[in-house]
Amino acid sequence: MVQAFEVDFEPDVSRVQHMRRITKANLRHWKLAAVMVEALLIVSELVTNAIQHGDGPVRLRVEHHAHELRIEVTDGSPTMPVLREAGDDDESGRGLVLVAAMAEEWGVSGDGETIWCSLALPPDGA
């Protein structure tokens, strides 16, 4: 059985913290403490990118499958996100690198509007 939640919201930087709180509450309910830190950081990065670079409303969807947690953020922009190397003095540009490093796998939908990643869950889920 898949458990999931989905939230649609207008792009506003204040929504990042709200999406973290919603995600944290659901992960607690699903007893997924083992991936809490990584999931919250990924939600922060992907939602921030969607707000900064997207086109219109944003959607966060988190799905709890038997062996993975899948996080998707849709931003309405067909511009494909790309990994880039931030310089030592750059204040941004590391988000996707962090997501790629933490996630089991990640990708972008064919239309470029949704970025997703999955985190492997330990066998006991906790």
Predicted pLDDT at 90: 46
Whether 126 is covered by a domain: the verdict is: no
pLDDT band at 114 (very low <50, low <70, confident <90, very high): very high
Whether 93 is covered by a domain: the verdict is: yes
Decide: pTM greater than 0.85.
Answer: yes
pLDDT surpasses 80 at 89: no
Mean pLDDT of the chain: 88
pLDDT (average), residues 69-88: 78
Whether 29 is covered by a domain: the verdict is: yes
Phi and psi torsions of 120, nearest 5°? -70, 140
CATH number of the domain where residue 53 is located = 3.30.565.10
> Into how many domains does the chain fold?
1
Q: How many CB atoms lie within 10 A of CB 122?
A: 10
Token pair in block for residue 109: 């939908």
- Exposed, middle or buried: residue 94 (CB in 10 Å: 0-12, 13-18, 19+)? middle
Whether 12 is covered by a domain: the verdict is: yes
Range of the domain at 24: 3-120
